[in-house]
Every structure is written in C-alpha cells, then in structure tokens.
Amino acid sequence: MSEEKKPLNFLEQIIEEDLANGMPNNELRFRFPPEPNGYLHIGHTKAIGISFGLGEKYNAPVNLRFDDTNPAKEEQEYVDAIKRDIKWLGYTWANELYSSDYFQQLYDWAVLLIKDGKAYVDSQSSEAMAEQKGTPTQPGVDGPYRSRGVDENLDLFKRMKDGEFEEGTHILRAKIDMQHTNMLMRDPIMYRILKKHHHRTGNDWCIYPMYDWTHGESDYIEQISHSLCSLEFKPHRELYNWFKEQVYTYSKDKYPKLPKQREFARLNLSYTIMSKRKLLQLVEDGIVNGWDDPRMPTISGLRRRGYTPKALKKFVETAGVAKRDNVIDVSLLEFCIREDLNKTAPRVMAVLNPIKLVITNYPEDKVEWLDAENNQEDNSAGYRKVPFSRELYIEKEDFKEDAGNKFFRLRLGGEVRLKNAYIIKAESVVKDSNGNITEVHCTYSEDTSKKVKGTLHWVSIQHAIKAEVREYDRLFMDEAPDSHTDKTFLDFINPNSLKVIDAFIEPSLKEAKIGDRFQFQRLGYFNVDSIGEKLVFNKTVGLRDSWAKKTSAEHSRSKPKNSMNQNQEKLQQQNQRKAISVIQQLGKKYTNLPEEKQLKVKSEIQELAKNVSYEDLEPLFNTAVKKAGTRIAATLTLGVLLENGLERNEAINNFISKALEDKNELLVAEAEAL
C-alpha cells in the first residue's frame, strides 16, 4: 500500500512558492526566539515543532535566539531550562544566539535613525503619551517633543545610554505617523531607561531596546528567511517591515537579505492556562511546587509527569498548523501519550487501594515464581518472574459481596483469574467491628483452562514493595479558566488535583530508575519520579479518559429536576441502553475521517464502550469484512472490556485473529493493540 503524501500546510506553501520564484534553498534560515522569562510550556512545542520541523524538511539551519531585552524579568535559570527542554524534544539548533549580542548594532542604527529625523527622544509622562496616542477609531496627535532637533535628540540619547537620567524620564520613539490607522505605527517606543542588571551584559547598558525594535532587526542580522510567529503578532507585521526597511538602507551590503514575517495560530489547550505571567503566579503563590510540577503545562512538568517527546510531537502534528486561533481538547494530548506508552511501557502489577486476599487451600510456606509478559505489544520485551503466595493484595474495588451481571470482577461465590496465575473463587469474608471487609478468603484451582469472565491484578504481600504514588488530575476544573470576566483563573483551581497514595508494587520494580515508565495493569501509566528511601511514581494518564464521564455526571447533578431535564435524562438512559448502536454508527464512517477526527471518534467509542456488555458486543464479531469501520469500532470496544477484566474466549480470539489478517491497516493496528 503506497504511503499517502501529506498535503502542505500554509507555511510550507509559502516557502515552496518562494523557492519556485527563485529563492535558493541554501538561503532558507529559521529561528526559535523564546524570551528567557519563564519555562517553556506545551504551547511552545508548536512553535518549536514548526521552526525545527521546517529546518529538518528543507535541510536548513535553525537558530536558537534568546530575545533577552528585559533584564527585570529574565534569568539564566530560564535560559538553561529552555535549552534543556529543546534538547529533550530531540531538536538541535545551528547557533545559540542572544538579542543582547546585537545591543551595540541596534544602538548604532538608532543613532542613524535620529540623524535621519526618523527617531526622537520624548520626555513626557506615560499618561500624557497614552492620551496623545488616540484610539483605534480616533487618530493620535503629535506630542510637544516630536519636533525636537537632531542634535538635541542625539545628546539626550547618549546621556540616556550613559546613565545620566532616572528610569521613566525619557524614551526614544520612532517617528512614523501619529495618525496612522494601525496604532502600533503611532511613533512606537524603541528604547527605555532600565537600570537593571542583565544576566549576560551585566551593568554595561542603562537603556534597553523594545521587543518590536529588537525582534525584526535580530532576524535581519541573522539573515533569517522566514520569521514565523504566533497570530497575535500579525498587527505588528507592518511595524516589523518599516523597521527592517529603514536599517536595510544602512546595511544592505553587509546584510543583503530581508526576512519575511508570517503568522500561525498559537496552540491553546482546554483546562489549561498558557500565560507565563499566570504560570509564574501559580509557582510564587505555592499552588504548585515549582515550574516542573507535573500538574503544570510546562515541558519540564510534562516530562516529570511521564510524557514523551514522541507523544508531544504527535500531538502538535495532529493539532495541525492553522491560520485561526482555536482551542484543542486536552483529551487529544492525553490520547497521544496513551497511544505511545501502550506500545512501549512494560506492564507491571501494583495495588493502590489494597484489601487482603487469603487463598485458604494454598500452602502457607509455598512461593511460586510465575512468568509474566512484559508487553504484549512488543515481542522483544520478553517475560519477568513474579512471586505468588498464599496471601495477596488486590484492589478493594475489585471485590463486591453482591454485584450485577456487568461486574466481571470478584464476588462471593464467583470466580476470576489472577493475572499470570490461577483461577480463584471467593468463599467468605472477614469483617471488622464496623462491618467493613478486611479480608476475602478464596480457594484456588490449578485448572487454568477454565473459562471465566474477569481477570484481576495482584501482588504477593510478603514480597510487595511499598511505594508512594502521586495521582495527578487536571489543575483546573473549568475548560477555559482564564476566560471569565467575573472570576480569575485561581477561582477554578481543582482542590483534588493531587492525591498521594501509599501503594504496593511487585518486586521487579525494585531496580527502576528515574524516568522509567510503566503501565500499572488495569490502572494507568506511571513514571518514576524519585528513588530515595522509597520509589515515587507520578501518574501520567489513565488507561481511559475518565474526566469526560466525571464532568458529565457532575453537570447532570447540578441541573434542576424540571420536566425538560427529566425528559433529557430519559433520553440519556435510552442512549446508554443503545450504546452499542451508537458505536456502530460511529464506526461506519471511521475509515473516511481525517486523522484528528478519527482520534476524537476513537475516544468517543471508548467512552461509550463502558456501557456495553459482552452480550451486546459479540454479534459485531460477525460483521462483514468490507465493513472495516464497524469492525474497528468493535475492536476498540473489546479493548475497553478486556481492560475492565473481561476474560478472553474462543470467539474473542477468533475475532482478533481475523482482524490481524485484514487488509485495512487501521483495523490491523487496533487488533495488534489487543
């Protein structure tokens, strides 16, 4: 099957047009220009991916340039963190540069602009200048210092540089047009006095260039061909062009090529804030434990959480390059890390909420070391040994005294399979004085060929290692926490975003190293955060998206029970009963959907599958071969049931075998995941 050629995004189309119009390929140059005033976040991965991705595509150099023009907010710590994050993502820059490298050149150009009557020193208060600037619908007016003579401007500007004046007394402004329809063109500020220590230049400078003056001229000095930035800079493009055209007249022999600015939509994520100022507030107010707190959307936080470079790149690629701002559902990011870790993370057993299970007919002093598969997705992963003994821990929620037909786990009189071990039957329970179950007594059978519906994970009590598990949830409870006029983003902090658990893990994890990632079977994906006195694991993501279901339930509870809502509830109950029908409908068009839509539909199918019984699903095993979409939907649903403890049988194995032999690559991929 030939690989489908991906269509070009609009930035690639611009570059292809420039190359077709005569630009030599060896003149392509890109840059990623972060300000070192905070840690990089998930939104930056898009800008990084675009610039470095184009560099890889066209074999062109990509500079890492720090726009370090505000010493009041910039620190070496941020520079180091940014470099570390970009390297971790797998990118290599051609040159490490700083806007501060160009301070002298920028100053010299500013002097030339003053001499040409295109810049002047303004000595008014900020309030007076703001009043003169006008509004988007009202033109500005000239200030009293706009007509200052060249000699006086040169003298004042030099004395500003020499530190003679206090902050706020003078600024240098470009002399463009105070009546311009674009307010950014109304004599923008080029320099302000800042008597602050700079992390690279120390105290050499008392004046610092503004971003708009520095940014484009740095691009010009580096001979960047395409200056790519986010959409909020589109109104700045006219000023970007004005500045570069002025300096071009001074330095065209030394710097013959003019850069071109183009803008793309920034990456916005639901249940997340992207403002570095607000992220800094979370750190300074102690709401999170530093920039790399696993609840933070920073790259360093995501790394500690257990995210991989591959998953982040896949997320950015799936979100795409657009011209208009939009909000990407955070569940897509979570889906991407699940997909990656499902293929690579070793499977292990851990119990987070234990209840003691005693196998009464198993010898007290006997220990067996059983073979356990490390990862069914990776044939090369091999097997490990896990100890089995008379007394085990299982999850408390995996046992009920009485349960309905859809409960595939352990109940009194019922049988389940212990993962990699035997089939057990619950015979009785032991309760404390308050009626709480403290032990489940079982018997086991060595006949492992028996068919049972449920499979449970477990650990041997005498061999289990104590570990700390940090279960992280979303930091904000609102989909757009910083979009409300009557509340601040702090009003939507999730008080339950971190839960610390004392867990029990199998002994094979004793040698785990920081950064190792595992699937705790039936629980989710976890990452080793520290290995001091005890192992500490951070939860990366669950096996399924539980947030959508939780928020939907909370939303339903918050609504008043009027007749309309009762009708809606009735309809919802009908829809739940017909979940398998909805899954069939979603499957019909699955193979014709674009990748991003497929991921969304896949998530919907997996959520609906929680309301499907095996009896509902089994008829879909006989779906016609040509209906690949429906068979994919059935495979996804089966995956959820198996994760929830459904025991494999002959019909399931036959269905998976046929899917593995199919010509549809999507179906084969999902079958391989089972």
What percentage of the chain carries pLDDT values higher than 70? 94
Burial of residue 3 (CB within 10 Å: 0-12, 13-18, 19+) is exposed
Residue 435: what residue type? G
Whether 61 contacts 181, CB under 8 Å: no
Q: Which helix (H) or strand (E) holds 114?
A: helix 103-115
Predicted confidence (pLDDT) at residue 369 exceeds the cutoff of 60: yes
Q: What is the pLDDT of residue 4?
A: 54
Task: Report the chain's terminal Cα–Cα distance, integer Å.
Answer: 23
Nearest of 416, 342, 427 to residue 376 by alpha carbon: 342
Q: Which residues of 279-304 are buried (b: 16+ CB within 10 A; e: fewer)?
A: beebbeeeebeebbbbbbbbbbbbbb
Predicted confidence (pLDDT) at residue 455 exceeds the cutoff of 90: yes
Q: Which residues of 405-417 are buried (b: 16+ CB within 10 A; e: fewer)?
A: eebbbbbeebbbb
What percentage of the chain carries pLDDT values higher than 90? 73
CA dist list (Å): 424 to 401, 419, 443, 454? 15, 11, 6, 11
Q: What is the pLDDT of residue 546?
A: 55
Predicted confidence (pLDDT) at residue 123 exceeds the cutoff of 60: yes
Beta-strand pair 415-418/455-456: parallel
Q: What is the pLDDT of residue 651?
A: 82
Query: Considering Cα of 339, then 344, then 349, then 353, what sign does the dihedral take?
Result: negative
Q: What is the pLDDT of residue 555?
A: 45
Inter-helix orientation angle 650-660/628-643, to 10°: 130
Whether 268 contacts 275, CB under 8 Å: no
Q: What is the pLDDT of residue 582?
A: 87
What's the DSSP call for residue 112?
H
Q: Which helix (H) or strand (E) holds 53?
A: helix 42-58
CA dist list (Å): 126 to 71, 136, 167? 20, 18, 12
**For 33-60, what is each residue's pLDDT tens digit?**
999 999 999 999 999 999 999 999 999 9
Cα separation, 551 vs 332, whole angstroms: 17
What's the DSSP call for residue 557?
H
Confidence at 560, pLDDT banded by 50, 70, 90: very low
Give the residue, 644 or 483, on which the prediction is more confident: 483
Predicted confidence (pLDDT) at residue 113 exceeds the cutoff of 90: yes
Q: Which regions of 265-318 does DSSP assign to beta strands (E)? A: 267-269
Average pLDDT, integer, range 170-176: 98
Whether 196 contacts 71, CB under 8 Å: yes
Give the residue, 659 or 48, on which the prediction is more confident: 48
Q: What is the pLDDT of residue 568?
A: 41
Which range is least confidently modeled, 24-28, 163-167, 319-323, 553-557?
Answer: 553-557
**For 493-514, what is each residue's pLDDT tens digit?**
999 999 999 999 999 999 999 9
Strand partners, 230: 264
Strand, helix or coil for residue 312: helix
Domain chopping of the chain, boundaries: 270-344+466-483+516-534, 349-464, 578-672
Q: Angle at CA 20, nearest 5°, toward 17 and 23? A: 95
CA-CA-CA-CA dihedral for 195, 111, 260, 228, to nearest 10: 0
Q: Which helix (H) or strand (E) holds 540?
A: strand 535-542
Strand partners, 415: 425
SS3 annotation, 237-260: HHHHHHHHHHHHHHHCCCCCCCCE
Residue 139 backbone zone (phi > 0: left; psi -120 to 50: alpha; other: beta): beta
DSSP for 483-517 reads: --SSS-GGGGB-TTSEEEEEEEE-GGGGG--TT-E
Predicted confidence (pLDDT) at residue 118 exceeds the cutoff of 50: yes
Average pLDDT, integer, range 407-431: 94
Q: What is the pLDDT of residue 565?
A: 44
Predicted confidence (pLDDT) at residue 394 exceeds the cutoff of 50: yes
Confidence at 376, pLDDT banded by 50, 70, 90: confident
Inter-helix orientation angle 211-221/237-251, to 10°: 50
Q: What is the pLDDT of residue 470?
A: 97
Q: What is the pLDDT of residue 143?
A: 96
Average pLDDT, integer, range 126-142: 95
Cα separation, 52 vs 63, whole angstroms: 9
Confidence at 592, pLDDT banded by 50, 70, 90: confident
The class level of CATH for 349-464 reads mainly beta
Predicted confidence (pLDDT) at residue 239 exceeds the cutoff of 80: yes
Which range is least confidently modeled, 201-210, 275-284, 310-319, 660-669?
Answer: 660-669
Strand, helix or coil for residue 333: helix
Question: Which residues are tagged catalytic?
Answer: 35, 266, 276
Burial of residue 431 (CB within 10 Å: 0-12, 13-18, 19+) is exposed
Confidence at 545, pLDDT banded by 50, 70, 90: low
Give the residue, 645 or 28, on which the prediction is more confident: 28
Predicted confidence (pLDDT) at residue 421 exceeds the cutoff of 60: yes
Strand partners, 72: none
Q: What is the pLDDT of residue 574?
A: 40
SS3 annotation, 186-234: CCCEEEEECCCCECCCECCCCEEECHHHHHHHHHHHCCCCEEEEEHHHH
Cα separation, 445 vs 4, whole angstroms: 52
Q: Angle at CA 600, nearest 5°, toward 596 and 603? A: 140
Beta-strand pair 399-400/96-98: unpaired
Q: What is the pLDDT of residue 134?
A: 94
CA dist list (Å): 28 to 224, 230, 516, 561, 602? 7, 20, 39, 63, 39
pTM summary value:
0.81
Predicted confidence (pLDDT) at residue 672 exceeds the cutoff of 90: no
Query: Considering Cα of 664, then 607, then 376, then 616, what sign does the dihedral take?
Result: negative
What residues contact 599, with CB distance under 8 A and at least 6 apart? 318, 332, 335
Predicted confidence (pLDDT) at residue 570 exceeds the cutoff of 80: no
Predicted confidence (pLDDT) at residue 567 exceeds the cutoff of 50: no
Confidence at 577, pLDDT banded by 50, 70, 90: very low
Give the residue, 105 or 593, on which the prediction is more confident: 105
Cα separation, 368 vs 363, whole angstroms: 11
> Is the fold of 270-344+466-483+516-534 the same as that of 349-464?
no
Give the residue, 300 or 650, on which the prediction is more confident: 300
Q: What is the pLDDT of residue 334?
A: 93
Looking at domain 270-344+466-483+516-534, its CATH architecture is Orthogonal Bundle (1.10)
Confidence at 400, pLDDT banded by 50, 70, 90: very high
Q: Tokens 């990862």 label which residue?
A: 375
Average pLDDT, integer, range 558-585: 54
Whether 63 contacts 94, CB under 8 Å: yes
If you average pLDDT over every residue of the chain, what do you get?
A: 91
Nearest of 630, 567, 636, 569 to residue 608 by alpha carbon: 636
Predicted confidence (pLDDT) at residue 150 exceeds the cutoff of 70: yes
Predicted confidence (pLDDT) at residue 557 exceeds the cutoff of 50: no
What residues contact 127, with CB distance under 8 A and at least 6 apart? none
